[in-house]
Amino acid sequence: MARVIFITGGARSGKSRLAEELALGFGAPLAYVATGGAGDGEMAERIARHRARRGDHWTTVEEPRDLAGALAGVDGRFNATLVDCVTLWLSNLLFAGNDSPQILESVGKLTKLFPLLTTPLVIVSNEVGLGIVPDNRLARQFRDLAGEANERIAAAADEVYVTFSGLPLKLK
C-alpha cells in the first residue's frame, strides 16, 4: 500500500507548493493529475505558471471527472502522483449534472482506491468552509460537498496537512 498525503488550506496558502515539494521527495518521474481546465485566459495563465514551476520531472494528465480512473491509470508508472485539486474535481462533477449523493459516491470510489495504490499519492484540496454561509443554494451545496469530501479523504489518508500563509501544519 502506498502512502497517501492530503493537503488542504485556503486560496493562495501554499498548498500546491507544499504538495510539489513532498512529491519531489519521492524522486522523478512524477505524475501530475490536473482536474482543472483552462476555461478562460486567467485560468490558462495559472496553469502555465504551475507547469513552468514544476519543470520537466512531471508528466501531466488532465482528468476533470474520472479521478479514480486517472489514478488507476498512472499507478505504478511513476515514483509519486500529485492531484491538484479536489475542489475543482467536485465543481466539474457538480456542473456535469451530478447530485450530492452521486458526487460523494465518487469520493468513496476514490478513497477505496487508496489501499490498492502502489505509487505514493499527494492530494490537494481547498478548505472552503471557514468563511460566511453563502447566500445561494449552489454555493452552499458546493461548500458542504467540499467539506464532506475533505473529511472523507483526510480520514482515509496517512498524513494530513493544512497550510496557512505559506506555512504547513501537520494534522495527522
**What cell was used for 77?**
508508472
> b/e string for 120-147 if b means 16 or more Cβ within 10 A?
bbbbbbbbbeeeeeeeeeeeeebbebbe
For residue 4, the SS3 value is strand
DSSP, res 6: E
Catalytic residue among 18, 23, 50, 124: 50
- Of residues 101, 69, 82, 62, the one with CA closest to residue 20: 82
Give me 95's grid cell: 456542473
Nearest-angstrom CA–CA distance, 21 and 46 = 18
Angle at 107 between CA 73 and CA 23, to 5 degrees: 55
Strands 167-170 and 159-164: antiparallel
Q: 50 catalytic, yes or no?
A: yes
Q: Which residues are catalytic?
A: 50
